[in-house]
Structure 1
Amino acid sequence: MLQKNMYFCYHNGMNNLIRIKSGVSGLDDMFNGGLIKGSSVLLAGPSGTGKTMLGLQFIKEGLFLKENCVFISMVKDPADVLKYYDVLNVDWDKYINNKKLSLLYFNAAEIDRMIFRLKKIFSKSNIDRAVIDGLPCAVKPGYLVKIRTMINFFKDKHATSYFVTAVSEKNKEVTFDNASFPEMFNSIVLLKQKEEKNEYLKTIALLKAEGIIYDTKIRKVEIGRNGFKVKTVLDKEVMRAPAGSAPVIQLGNDIFLKSKKVEEYLINTFKEKFPQAIIDKPKSSLRYDLENIINDVKKDMGIFTLKFEDVYRLAKDDLLVSLDDYIEKKKFFKGSVEACTFKEKIFGIPDDASCRCLIYRKDLLDKHSVKVPSTWEEMVKAAQYITQKENKSKIAGLLFYNRKNWMSDTFMELLWSNGGNIFDEKGNINVSNKAALESLKFIQDLIYKFKVVPAGFNSQLFYEGRCVFFIATSYAYKEIINGEIPWRIKKILKPSLVSKLALAPLPQMKKNSRNFKILSGSAYCITKNTKDIKSAIMFLKLLTSEKTMRALELKAGHPFPSRVKLWKDKEILWQKPYYAQAEGIMEKYMIPYQSIENYKTINVVIQNETLKVLDRSKPIVDVLLGLESEIKVINKRCKDHERIAKKIIDYLELNYNRQIKLKDISAEVKLNAHYLEKIFKMQTNDTIFEYLIDLRIKKARELLEDTSNNVNEVAYKVGYSDAGYFSKLFKRKTRHTPSNYKLI
């Protein structure tokens, strides 16, 4: 999947300028797509305007993109500076320890020595981003030469540099004591503040941006829990409903499937405060496959639920609203919060969380005085002992819930618990390792050596009451005891079985070792295309409050609720005593789609290959070698596809104001038209021309900010010769006519 927050290239004559992201919401829009890599930027403004925070967000963005960064302070120890910026939610020590972030402390008189130190750093690894904080602008001419030397040093190394300086504000105008000083930089960002209605209003403006058609307007700035944010025209559109209108709440994909009574309570409670509120619910249930979800969220979808992995995917595609300011993280299960996080921002309020666990026949363990096993060795012995004693009943020792990718999940969980992974410490693919070999061999031994798993893997035996241990999710356990299983299974379910089952954490590979599980679950999200985001957030806060989530658990609910307090709620435990096991079951978890590139595709390959171990149709070593080879091919192919999609986007960015045909793009990218359409769809979940429409509408919104531009001119500038057709498209995408949009 092509990350929309990555840099892109465009060609300007003989120059090949690479754009990079600033890490500050709204600032890249002002630069018309991002900063130019290798350029120098002067951040200037009076004290208290957020200069240092803006610079550190620039470094934060680089660190998350695995770039090398340096933070230089000319005022105080940089380590002390970082202590006061934990609001940015960055583990600075982690990046310092792994050498991705270097800290230097020099004063203005030591620039020569500073450059010498930088040369030593560059000799070991390249630096991509640099921030120099506390640069004096009132300097003698001799120092100007040294500063220019430092600017050129970074430029020669293709490092993008921020120089932060404090300036005085006289007669409401920011001035530089030396007129030559600002001329040395490629771009100048000016921060100011003024008193308005008993508070200081902060603003940002670009005074200069060489080689860029940039935004010349003064923009408002917000500094909050997520750091520095520039308010743009898009914020006006999405963060409030049209003036004077009633709140509009859009509820998507059956979010109240659990309880219609809770739905009525929430809607009535909200309408008590906002009597004119409009509650907009879908006429039919939405489809749950990811491709259709992505198509839906590009419409006016509102509040909806997503699986954890889909939250991450859609956040990566910039389709969801950040909900950082609307969640009390400490009150939620840590893993759920992590699963809904992308680049340190939360894009979903967790609802429930689950992972695989051990469902066992409590009656059989009690009958034969066998303790609940805590290791795989203990479980094998317990299964062998009980099946031997119950020989007349012909019961199985262990079965797995035979759902999609169950074998892949089993292999990965055993591999992690055995101290292994599918890549080495350097990040290289390495599946044919000792831990992987042991893990697959153990799965095979469960069938052929220990004989506790029947060769057919028929999970039907468990529902018939003919199995001791069953590995499945906690959700599967809930379905069984509540009789919510599919009819085909309900027909064979032995009624007396329900009261005999109990729940426990998955066994460990070895005593006192880790037993990792893949975490799954769902969360409430808000799409960026929601009509009235402000009202949606108010409703979401009510929906995800402790009172509401408790009511949902008492009416229905899935194991386990993400609010940890509910695990120990007496009334809930009286209904669902197995919730007491939640902490132990989910104690060690993995979120593979965040840590393993292209995991969704790789997971399918692992499933298909490792299944060959069960029937011994292929030696384990050959399975692992083949798996390693296939994963390498997948990663290479994905990178090639990403590069192709990026080329197409670059072409569209350059030519959106022209009439574009598929054959033009095909000639530019030098690929068959059908093939590149397929690749682009795979990488962006958009067709090329739907992407082009979105791009043109985005450019049109920017042009409509300038009220001197009429609709016909804007239509022509973004590639439409027919203003009427453009207006229809614009309204379909923004819910406003171009003329009305100018008035927002």
Structure 2
Amino acid sequence: MARNKFPVHTTLSSEAVKILERYEKELGAKNLVLEKALLSLDSTKFKSKIDINNIDKVIKRVSTGVAGLDDMLEGGVPKGSSVIVTGPPGTGKTTLCMQFLMEGVKADEKCLFFSFEERIPQLIQHFMRFGWDLGSHIDDGYLEIFGMSMLTFEEIGEIIETYKPQRIVFDSLNVFTDPEEFRKSISWRSLHKLLKKLNITTFLVTEKENGMEKKVYDKYDFVGDGIIFLDKMQINEVEPTLTPVLAVQKMRATKVDTTPQPFRFTDKGISKYRTVNLMANKLQERMDVARSSSSEEPRYQ
């Protein structure tokens, strides 16, 4: 019986063996054979990493739980996106994120909530205001909450790899890390890479000192695939009451209207007004006036 030219214990793949045999016939000298073969093997690996045929051409959408907002996003946020949810304090950022997680739980998706400034009892009370049954969701294994979290990026990564969630909320990044250090942080880059690898849709809450009428960005904004800005604005000079508004300022792979849209808080969470044309136009006019009357140029923090 003929002996196998390549023993069973060899570490070479069949592809590598073919490349070696080809260059052995052409070049003869073993050092040249190995050099050419390794170059070809590297080239083969590189091509396999960018195989366009293996990329899903259909953009899968993840519902935010807010019907009106989904309408603004072609049906939802692109799956696997990291979305910055930002705005001044008290504008509904945490509520929107909780609603986003509850929508995931309804779809039998595992969800994680990391809060860096609120205790678990406070968070649960906040959830329960809108009739969301946290206890059963936690018992069923679809929701985990970490309040007043002192976890490091590395520890968060370990939790994510073990739990394997489809949705995550971080609230808020300003408490967890300095914006100037955040984007360059190796630990964050590693965690962000993990989120992308596992195709997890993530909402990251950040705080703004300014309203949306001022065009001011920070380092967090540049990290996100999308930015949802929540604010409160006065519709007209006669009515002093501030109206809650939201604007999708950015969303990759999505055609968006950046005009501020009014919304309201209901007993079931956030709901965007259906009839918004007149109010939205007035909001945009007020923003334009506020910007033109300001002597400051747009600033980027």
TM-score range, shorter chain: 0.5 to 0.7
2:139 is aligned to 97
Q: Is the 8 A contact 1:45 1:167 kept in 2?
A: yes
- Among 163, 176, 184, the alignment partner of 2:204 is 163
Matched, 1:15 2:57: yes
Secondary structure class of the residue paired with 2:271: strand
Measured in 1, the distance between the counterparts of 2:138 and 2:104 equals 13
1:128 is aligned to 166
Q: Is the 8 A contact 1:75 1:134 kept in 2?
A: yes
1:208 is aligned to 250
Query: Once the 2 structures are TM-superposed, how far is the Cα of residue 128 of structure 1 from its aligned partner?
Result: 1.1
Secondary structure class of the residue paired with 1:15: coil
Measured in 2, the distance between the counterparts of 1:108 and 1:204 equals 30
Matched, 1:53 2:95: yes
Q: Is the 8 A contact 2:229 2:246 kept in 1?
A: yes
Measured in 2, the distance between the counterparts of 1:131 and 1:52 equals 9
1:218-257 alignment, distance < 5 Å: 218-233=260-275
Letter in 1 for 2:60: I
Residue-by-residue CA offset, 1:705-741 (whole Å, 9 max, x unaligned): xxxxxxxxxxxxxxxxxxxxxxxxxxxxxxxxxxxxx
- Among 113, 117, 121, the alignment partner of 1:75 is 117
1:243 is aligned to none
In the superposition, the TM-score normalised over structure 1's length comes to: 0.28
Measured in 1, the distance between the counterparts of 2:75 and 2:211 equals 33
- Among 229, 237, 250, the alignment partner of 1:190 is 229
Matched, 1:143 2:185: no
Secondary structure class of the residue paired with 2:64: coil
1:153 is aligned to 194
Q: Is the 8 A contact 1:38 1:155 kept in 2?
A: yes
Measured in 2, the distance between the counterparts of 1:28 and 1:46 equals 22
Measured in 1, the distance between the counterparts of 2:166 and 2:210 equals 32
2:39 is aligned to none
Residue-by-residue CA offset, 1:295-331 (whole Å, 9 max, x unaligned): xxxxxxxxxxxxxxxxxxxxxxxxxxxxxxxxxxxxx
Measured in 1, the distance between the counterparts of 2:231 and 2:221 equals 17
Q: Does the C-alpha gap of structure 1 residues 171 and 106 become closer, same or farther in structure 2, counting only changes over 3 Å? A: closer
Letter in 1 for 2:171: D
- Higher Cα Rg: structure 1 or 2? 1
Unaligned runs of 5+ in 1: 1-12, 238-744
Q: Is the 8 A contact 1:25 1:228 kept in 2?
A: no
Q: Is the 8 A contact 1:71 1:78 kept in 2?
A: no
1:36 is aligned to 78
Q: Is the 8 A contact 2:119 2:147 kept in 1?
A: yes
Q: Is the 8 A contact 1:108 1:135 kept in 2?
A: no
Residue-by-residue CA offset, 1:646-666 (whole Å, 9 max, x unaligned): xxxxxxxxxxxxxxxxxxxxx
Residue-by-residue CA offset, 1:433-457 (whole Å, 9 max, x unaligned): xxxxxxxxxxxxxxxxxxxxxxxxx
Residue-by-residue CA offset, 1:379-425 (whole Å, 9 max, x unaligned): xxxxxxxxxxxxxxxxxxxxxxxxxxxxxxxxxxxxxxxxxxxxxxx
Secondary structure class of the residue paired with 1:55: helix
Q: Is the 8 A contact 1:168 1:176 kept in 2?
A: no
Greater helix content: 1
Number of matched pairs = 218
Secondary structure class of the residue paired with 1:88: coil
Residue-by-residue CA offset, 1:470-503 (whole Å, 9 max, x unaligned): xxxxxxxxxxxxxxxxxxxxxxxxxxxxxxxxxx
- Sequence identity, in percent? 23
Measured in 2, the distance between the counterparts of 1:193 and 1:171 equals 9
Unaligned runs of 5+ in 2: 1-54, 279-301
Letter in 1 for 2:167: R
Q: Is the 8 A contact 1:45 1:174 kept in 2?
A: no
Query: Once the 2 structures are TM-superposed, how far is the Cα of residue 222 of structure 1 from its aligned partner?
Result: 0.8
Query: Once the 2 structures are TM-superposed, how far is the Cα of residue 46 of structure 1 from its aligned partner?
Result: 0.4
RMSD: 2.5
Secondary structure class of the residue paired with 2:129: helix
Measured in 2, the distance between the counterparts of 1:115 and 1:175 equals 31
Q: Does the C-alpha gap of structure 1 residues 94 and 166 become closer, same or farther in structure 2, counting only changes over 3 Å? A: same
Query: Once the 2 structures are TM-superposed, how far is the Cα of residue 194 of structure 1 from its aligned partner?
Result: 2.1
